[in-house]
Amino acid sequence: MSADRRSTRRLAIEGGRPVGNATVPSWPQLAPRALAAVAAVLESGRWSLPGVRRGGPSAEECFARRFGQFLGAPHCVPVNNGSAALVIALEALDVGAGDEVIIPALTWVANATSVLAVNATPVMADIDPATLCISATAIEAAITERTRAIVVVHLFSSVADLDAITAIGKSLGIPVIEDCSHAHGASWRGRRAGTWGAVGTFSMQEQKLLTSGEGGAAVCQNPELYDRLYQLRSDGRRPRAHTVDGESDLLFDGSVSGTNYCMAQVCAALLDAQLDLLSEQNDRRAKRAAVLDEVISAVPGATPVSALDGVTERTYYRYALRIDPDGFDGVSAATLCRALHAETGLPWQPAYPPLYRHPLYRPRTKRRFTGGGPSQRPAPDAYPEAERAHREIMTLQHPALLAGPDAFDVLPAAFGKLRRHMARLRLIDRTGDA
């Protein structure tokens, strides 16, 4: 056998020749009017929300209005990141010391740390295997007399079962917060995600579908809640009813103690321009995802994660599929993702580890939480679906869904190659080698 044949036959993670090398567009992508919008803010001399008003509304106010309109939410409070949006959502709903907040067991750490930040206790609930989002049944089982809020995350490319979850919240008088950090522009029964709960939160961090590098927003329907969200974000300051040129729009007058979570004006102007791209990009990603669904459905042992019937617009922060462990000799999704990434150049990534054993979830390392902090290790069988998702879910990051129409042509052959090397993959899986 020639050296060339050998290199083709070895797995790419072990130095063999890859099956293909897809070109994935870089992210973020700059909107046509973004540079001019940012330059205009810099030249205006008003770089912050509390800064002096100079002939017209702030970039922040313009973006808040436009993003609220896009979502169909009457009120929007931009903030400096998505974690801060979660904190002010909890504070606006008066969640604090001694309270419990139900969060999904499979999500980014901010959903736990935001609850800890307001001195409340995160109570994790298992996920629904169909959506990978928090399960309505698990929420019901986790409710106690101390439960003061439920945080739903519309994970990857799913919208959680909002019918069931909002019904639970309504029947018990417990507010629902929708974390839409993965779901900018998704809709449930014709209404946008973020407008079903008491508060909807968004992250505009660099990897998200709408981004200004760092950024976030909280939206709501209720004017009193908006008044609280606004003050909680602006050191307690309220907006002036009648704005005056040469003066700040914010008054030293408020009813709640706030923190400075204001979004910088350059970020607001950037987001306003980036929002021009969102709907068209969401459409393009959805079309590519439909192609990918067909490719994946033809791979033995792999099944796309599909949307619930209530989803009327589906967004793709990450495309997700589930592998049947028997079909892949028990090899984990993490190892398959690494191997498939090496064979194709496509950015495959496993799902998050379950939150209670996420390497960044370390509540006991902060003195603020010691004693009152939650224990990190639940019973081993407490969250079977979150554990199973970590073993079985492979995800593809959204920039790959903006690639050319032939980007996924390589996948059948790449999966075929992995299947021929299951013995090696099992070994790599066990030892963490390569």
Ligand X SMILES: *Cc1c(COP(=O)(O)O)cnc(C)c1O
DSSP 342-355: HHH---EEEPPPPG
208 is catalytic: yes
Query: Which spans of this chain sit near ligand X (rule: CB under 6 A)?
Result: 81-83, 107-108, 110-111, 153, 179, 181-182, 203, 205, 216
Nearest to 231 by CA among 206, 205, 210, 252: 252
Of the residues 170, 208, 366, 417, only one is catalytic, namely 208
Only one residue has tokens 């797995």, namely 11
* Exposure of 279 in the CB half-sphere (CA atoms within 13 A): 6
* The pairing of beta strand 199-203 with beta strand 176-179: parallel
- DSSP β-bridge partners for residue 127: 134
Q: Least CB distance from residue 32 to ligand X, whole Å?
A: 25
| Residues 49, 331: Cα–Cα separation, whole Å | 51
Beta-bridge partner residues of 217? 78, 202
Nearer to ligand X, 181 or 335 (CB): 181
Which helix (H) or strand (E) segment is 322 a member of? strand 318-323
Task: From 221, 250, 204, select the one nearest 76 (Cα to Cα).
Answer: 221
Distances (CA, A) of 234 to 8, 51, 66, 88, 178: 59, 12, 20, 11, 22
Q: Which is nearer to ligand X, 83 or 395 (CB)?
A: 83
- 81: nearest Cα among 242, 343, 267: 267
**Nearest CB to ligand X, comparing residues 356 and 408:** 356
Taking the complex as a whole, how short is the minimal distance between the CB of residue 85 and ligand X, in angstroms?
A: 8
Q: Cα 395–398–403 angle (5° rounding)?
A: 115
Minimal distance in Å, beta carbon 154 to ligand X? 8
Beta-carbon-side half-sphere exposure of residue 415 (alpha carbons within 13 Å): 18
Give min distance, CB of 84 to ligand X, in A.
7
Q: Of 180 and 299, which has the nearer Cβ to ligand X? A: 180
User: At closest approach, how far in Å is the CB of 376 from ligand X?
Assistant: 20
Quick one: 267 or 277, whose CB is closer to ligand X?
267
Nearer to ligand X, 271 or 299 (CB): 271
Q: Which two tokens stand for residue 114?
A: 């935001």
**Sequence-ordered alpha helix ranges (H) in 23-129:** 34-44, 59-71, 82-92, 110-117
Strand 238-239 vs strand 250-251: parallel, antiparallel, or unpaired?
Answer: antiparallel
Shortest distance in whole angstroms from residue 421 CB to ligand X = 33
Q: Which residue of the chain is nearest ligand X when measured via CB?
A: 82
Nearer to ligand X, 182 or 314 (CB): 182
Least distance from ligand X to the Cβ atom of residue 426, Å: 32
Q: Where are the alpha helices (DSSP H) in 247-402?
A: 265-297, 333-344, 384-392
Token pair recorded at residue 326: 């028997």
By annotation, the residues acting in catalysis are 208
